[in-house]
Structure 1
Amino acid sequence: MILAALWLTASSAQAEALQSSKDQETSTPQWQGDVLGFEPPQAGLLGDMLGIRPIFEDHGFHYNLGYLSQTSYNAGGGYNHDKQVSYIDQFALTFSQDLEMWTGIPDAAIEGNIVNRNHDNNLTRDRLQDPRVNPTDLSQESYGGQSITRLGWLTFSRSFMDRKLHWRVGMMNKVQDFDQIIPCDFQTLSLCGGKSANSLTWYNWNVHYWGTTLQYKLTDELTLKTGVLEQNPQAPSRSRAWSWSTKGSKGILVPVELELKTQAVNQLPGVYNLGVLYTNADQQDLYEGVSGGPGASDPNGYRSHGNTWFLYTGFNQQVTRHQDDAKRGLSVFYSLGLADQRSNYMHYSTATGIRYRGLFDARPDDWLGLGVSLVKLSDHYQDNQRYLNQLSNATDYQDPNYHPVPGHSVTAELYYRFKVTPWMELQPGLQYWHHAGGVSETQDAWVTALKTVVTF
């Protein structure tokens, strides 16, 4: 889902690490993110485009144009056993215009992202999960709701204080600054990147909202990030795809994150983060009413909370290095998101897994990945489902009026990614779904997947 942005982030991270290593009088190898999943951009299908790309580069315009498709097939189990092949795809253009070369302002740049998504084929919605409960995962993480072209971000940025302080402002997205220590390579959503999107108050990748952010390098390894962003529930709507309006805003978001890039573990690269997200926008309680009882029968409706929070953390650490190639090795990752369960139906979510880059000598650029995630549903959400069953006098799961009471869900995925050419990757995978949507009555499911990535 965020492949192009991750490539851009990886390039910036490697450039910063290289500069840092030049400034330090040490024999420690430079921080290199290849084994962690942050590979630099490769030569694209179109090459230098008859000399056009080098001209752009010489004038400070850098871009990545990529294609992504994701196919899922319910091989067995799930809520609906009827077989279905679900297919989605997207084109993503991520670009930046260097302004420093024209203005002399340190690191000044205009940055943008445009994403075109296609098809309304969602296997999770159609086959895997009971439609009477809220989703806890997606088999195709890039599913974006039918065909649409959106502005992901358009921002101005620059640095101060000898490049220790970096400032960004404009119509932005969280992936530009926050919770970017784990790449989005798995096809299941819960294993794709970090957990901060589960706050349900800001949005990933191709949805923009107004804001400004600051990153300050406390040390060469430790960065403090913060900002003020618009909290707008209407941001993902189709009408807001290209809008610069703040209509529908409910309040502000204030994220604070510490990110540590280090080589403290056997001189191998690792990146760690800890963040909290606060908003003053009103949030509706999932169970309690204004009068104190269940909101479903309260004449004044559900209780409103004047603020909410979300905590997220994780790490991505390389643990082995191939003796002949520093870009091959094993890494482990972990992520956790903890929410205010009064207003967020996912109380906590967590994921862990391993990746190996270059497992076979004959395939040094291939990847092997294995991950497992868990989502625990909110007590308030469960209590509301139980109370709705009392109101409708529904006790049988097969009754259409019954509201399933979700507990927890577990999703696992195994993939192998073939680097077919420098510009094309094929990634077959196998997913296992346990209690999809948190509903124990739903049969465990097996899903076969195929992800295709093309770089132009």
Structure 2
Amino acid sequence: MKYKSMLCALSLLTFSPLSAAQEWSGTVLGFESPPDPVLGDMYGLRKLLNDNGFTYNLGYLNEIGWNGGGGYNHASHVAYIDQFALTFNQDLSRWTNIPDARIEANIVNRNHNDDLTTRRVQDPRVNVNDLTQESWGGQSITRLGWLTFARSFDDRRMTWRIGMMNKVQTFDQIIPCDFQMLSQCGGKSANSLTWNNWNVHTWGTTLEYRLTPVVTLKGGVMEQNPDAASRHHAWSGSTRRSKGVLLPVEIEARPIINGLPGAYNLGVVFTNAPQTDLYRGRSGGAGASDPGGYEKHNRTGFLYAGLNQQLTRHQDDASRGLSTSFSMSLADQRTNYMHSVYAASLRYRGLFDARPEDWIGFGLTWTDMSNQYARNQRYMNTISGISDYNDAAYHPVPGHSLNGEFYYRFRPVSWLELQPGLQYWHRPAGISHTQDAWVTELKTVVTF
């Protein structure tokens, strides 16, 4: 019933007379214009590139986490990761006469590969359902995030994209990645575990069509390749080890309600790539004892949805105010160990008159782990005869978890952002035996 309600709400937004009355601005929703870079105009080089259709953003990010108390391993540790990211577009229309044609690319260099979640916060015997540092992953490596050709049709109402792509180019774009905790970073589409965020590419093609000034319909066909995040695939265009295709469909609405902008989406992802059951074997019993191994499912689906709505506007500055976001995902718990995830947050831009560009944010995430995954963990303990949680061979049984984060972000200078914060982990990874954890964080962003 609740999914029908979401569809009804999006339908109302499609035909809402409030939609195009004002110009939509996402500043208070977390979508700010790029700041003045530290390198400035580079003696006219940046302007020369822009005049020739080449635009880019080069940024540096680091994320630090320290286990202030609790968790699986109480030994103090400061975990540090960082990355450089170059994202650029090259306008092709002036040379090809193809309207609004462009080449899009993203290259990411990640370093240090030190994650506090797996080293201290959660029990390493169970799967990760959140991260203290959202940009951790993919090892210390330089890889191609995407390289695509795109162009528009029908007076820019339709956009077509093809190439080695990433889902974030098209799908689930309504919530920014400002928090350091992964579950509060953007939407929940990555929880399908069949495609990757940000710096991993696979082949595909997508279409976006703006049905009204407010509502856009999105769809695509993308390669489902579980090997895409491996080191040898970092710059590869090979489809070796591909298992099938992904068919994502999303409807996105960006209305203005009571004079305040918002963004809403509802998406589904289907795949024909075989997914392994988390408990059931080919013969119907437990897969761990089945000679044929675990059952394979040839068709699985995944649902995600979200909203990001401005709630207040400062009387003297439209770029200051309060916003709220909510995102959720629902997966096939036969094959996905994260059955459902719900995240809610509040953000305020310019809370203090003396600091109009500072941000303050607070978010909570509830995660329910798969019953099939928990069932398999119990069965593994039964056949091993181990019931002591402290035994290294014991398989912990996950349930639900609740994580929270609070941060404050400020800019000492235009090109530098410093974001200290605090995380609280209740039942890390869904394990009740693991002590609740406190994590102190610091996120730093430099724009070149």
- TM band (smaller chain): over 0.9
- CA drift of 1:104 comes to 2.4
| Aligned match of 1:230 | 223
Counterpart-to-counterpart distance in 1, 2:198 and 2:101: 22
Distance in 2 (CA, whole Å) between partners of 1:328 and 1:375 is 31
Pair 1:106-2:99 in alignment: yes
Counterpart Cα distance in 1 of 2:365 and 2:80: 23
Whether contact under 8 Å (2:245, 2:271) holds in the other structure is yes
The answer as to whether partners of 2:307 and 2:327 remain within 8 angstroms in 1 is yes
SS at match of 1:42: coil
Distance 1:406 1:25, change over 3 A: closer
Tell me which of 242, 246, 250 is aligned to 2:243: 250
Residues 332-387 of structure 1 deviation map (CA, whole Å, 9 limit, x = unaligned): 00000000000000000110010000000000000000000011000100000000
Give the corresponding residue for 1:216: 209
2:407 — aligned with what? Answer: 415
Query: Which residue of 1 is the match for residue 300 of structure 2?
Result: 308
Q: What residue number does 2:442 align with? A: 450
* Corresponding position: 1:180 with 2:166: no
**What CA distance in whole angstroms lies between the structure 2 residues aligned with 1:165 and 1:323?**
37
CA distance in 1 between partners of 2:91 and 2:199 (Å): 22
What does residue 13 of structure 1 align with?
Answer: none
**Moved runs in structure 1, 4+ residues, more than 4 A?**
24-27
Partner of 2:184 in structure 1?
191
* 1:162 has 2:155 as partner: yes
The alignment status of 1:147 with 2:140, answered yes or no, reads: yes
Match of 1:339 in 2: 331
Q: Are 1:129 and 2:122 counterparts?
A: yes
| 1:58 is the counterpart of 2:51 | yes
Structure 2, unaligned stretches of length 5 or more? 1-16
Matched, 1:96 2:125: no
Q: Is the 8 A contact 2:20 2:214 kept in 1?
A: no
Amino acid in structure 1 at the alignment position of 2:180: Q
CA contact 1:154–1:171 (8 Å) conserved in 2:
yes
Alignment root-mean-square deviation, CA: 1.2
Give the SS at the match of 1:236.
coil
8 Å CA contact 2:19, 2:256 repeated in 1:
no
TM-score (norm 2): 0.95
Cα deviation code 1:3-49 (max 9, x no counterpart): xxxxxxxxxxxxxxxxxxxxx99993310000000001111000011
Question: Pick from 296, 300, 317: which aligns with 2:288?
Answer: 296
Query: CA shift at 1:102, angstroms?
Result: 2.2
Whether the aligned pair in 1 keeps the contact of 2:365 and 2:404 (CA below 8 Å) is yes
What 5-or-longer segments of structure 1 have no aligned partner?
1-23
- The answer (yes or no) to whether the contact 1:260–1:273 under 8 Å persists in 2 is yes
Instruction: Determine the C-alpha separation between the residues in 2 that align with 1:26 and 1:411.
Output: 35
**How far is the alpha carbon of 1:73 from its aligned partner?**
0.2
Residues 271-286 of structure 1 aligned to structure 2 (within 5 Å): 271-286=263-278
Read off the aligned partner of 2:292 and give its amino acid letter: N
3-state DSSP of counterpart to 1:36: coil
Structure 1 residue matching 2:73: 3-state secondary structure: coil
Question: How far apart are residue 307 of structure 1 and its match?
Answer: 1.3
Does the 8 Å contact 2:18/2:255 carry over to 1? Answer: no
Residue identity matched to 1:308: T
Tell me the alpha carbon deviations over residues 87-130 of structure 1, each in whole angstroms, 9 at most, x when there is no partner. 00000000000111222222100000000000021100000000
Residue 10 of structure 2 corresponds to none
Which AA in structure 2 matches 1:94? T
Q: Does the CA-based 8 Å contact 2:18-2:256 persist in structure 1? A: no
Q: Distance in 2 between matches of 1:402 and 1:234?
A: 29
Does 1:377 find its partner at 2:369? yes
- TM (normalized to structure 1)? 0.94
In the other structure, the counterpart of 1:263 is 256
The percentage of counterpart residues that share the same residue type is: 66
Aligned partners of 1:120 and 1:168: how far apart in 2?
32
Specify the alignment match of 1:20 in structure 2: none
SS of 1:385's partner is helix
Query: Residue 49 of structure 1 is aligned with which of 42, 56, 60?
Result: 42
In 1, Cα distance between equivalents of 2:225 and 2:345: 33
C-alpha distance in 2 between matches for 1:26 and 1:259: 13
Contact kept? 1:119, 1:145, Cα under 8 Å: no
1:181-208 deviation digits (Å, cap 9, x = unpaired): 0000000000000000000000000000
